[in-house]
Every structure is written in structure tokens, then in C-alpha cells.
Homo-oligomer: A and B are copies of this chain.
Amino acid sequence: MELKVIARIRTDFGEKFGIPRQSGLVPELTGRIVFEPAFKDPAAVKDLVQYDRIWLIWGFSELGEDRPFSPTVRPPRLGGNKRVSVFATRSPFRPNPIGLSCVSLLKVETDTAEGPVLTVGGADLMDGTPIYDIKPYLPHFEAFPEARGGFSKEHQGDVLRVDFPEHLLALVPEDKRVSLKEVLALDPRPAYQHEAVNIRFQVTEEHLVVTDVSENG
């Protein structure tokens, strides 16, 4: 099946580095879903106001296509050296590089200069990521708090204390400070590099860009 890009998400993550490993880990991270010209129709989204949450089906756009099939992957959360069945992970390195994210729906605008725009919270997507489908979250059929969650649960509580000097934090736009500290608390360092890294924050007109500028980063 050939998928059409229906929209793209705008987020503060200009590169893969720093993106939380699952949706919802940092609820303060917001993103704006802007539709492609052929799908800019207010009627297609207006009834979403009845929902608190939506599903995004999207593409891991940074991967090259046609990688050979690897039946196992090494999830970063397990230290990057244990192999796990690919279909038992949410790794991007899967036969079809499709991502699935449950995000909160904060705002439905039907008539902006960019057409209809959905503002979502908790997005774990890179800026510009193509969106292939948007579906309402149906709690009756999709909320199973008691389901066993595999290894993803084990590292649930691992967060860092973030020590961010006030005079540096003052350089960050006020509305980005909470989300930035929460992203750092999740420890964006790769699992194989648990020592100091040098991170550069660059504030542009539209984005707060976080980059790893360590020598080996």
C-alpha cells in the first residue's frame, strides 16, 4: 500500500537527539499539525473537539528505505546491547517504518493562515515528520491500564535531576523552560555514552534547537 502524506507536525526537535522515547513522557511538549494542501479542509477535523486524545500514525522519515529485515533490535532503554524481537519493541528499525503515538489534543483550529491546525501535547516526533493518519482515541477499546507492558516498564522511573543555572535558563524562551528541563531529565544521552555530553541550545525564531556538540556526539 502506498501511503500519502496528509500532514506534517511542527515541533521543537530539529534532529533526533533529545526526542523522548515515547509519546506522553513530556506532556508539556507541544506540536502543531499542519495539513498538506490537498487535505486542508476544516470539515475533516472539526468534530475532533469531542476527543481528548488522538492517534498519530507517522513515518520515521530519517531512515533510508529498503533496509534488510532484521528480526531483532537493540533498544536504547536496555543499554543498547541486548537483542529483542523487533515486533516486541517500538524501534524505528522495523519492516515498515511506521510510528504510532498517542498524544493529547489541546486545540482544534479550523481556520488559520495555514488552514486547519491541531495543537497536540506529549509529541515525540521530529520537526517535519510526515503524518499518514489521525484517528480518535477510543478509551473503551484502547485503555487497558492493567495490561502487562514488557520491559518498557522496568526503566519507568529513571529520571535525572536537572541542575540548570538561572542565568542560563533565562536565555530560554519562557514557554519552553518546563519542557526543556523535562526533556533533559529523561536523559537524552545515548545508552552507550553515560558520561558528560556538551549540549548546545540554539534559539531561533521558531524553534529551540538542542544539539549534542560533544567531540564524539
A binding-site residues for B, Cβ under 8 Å? 1-4, 6, 22-25, 38-39, 41, 43-48, 50-55, 57, 59, 65, 69, 71-72, 84-90, 94-98, 100, 102, 130, 132-153, 156
Contact = CB atoms under 8 A, between A and B. Distances in A.
Contact of A48 (B24, B44, B87, B144): B87
B96 A4 contact: yes
B132 A138 contact: no
Contact of A44 (B39, B72, B130, B137): B72
Nearest to A149: B139
B48 A85 contact: yes
A89 to B, nearest CB: 7
Interface of A is mostly: mixed
Contacts of A90: 135-136, 138
Contacts of A69: 38-39, 41
A19 to B, nearest CB: 14
A12 B51 CA distance: 32
A145 B87 CA distance: 25
Nearest to A54: B87
A29 to B, nearest CB: 13
Contacts of A25: 141
Given A47-B84, A54-B87, A96-B133, 12 more contacts: A1-B130, A3-B96, A45-B85, A47-B88, A53-B144, A57-B100, A137-B144, A138-B150, A139-B145, A140-B149, A142-B142, A143-B145
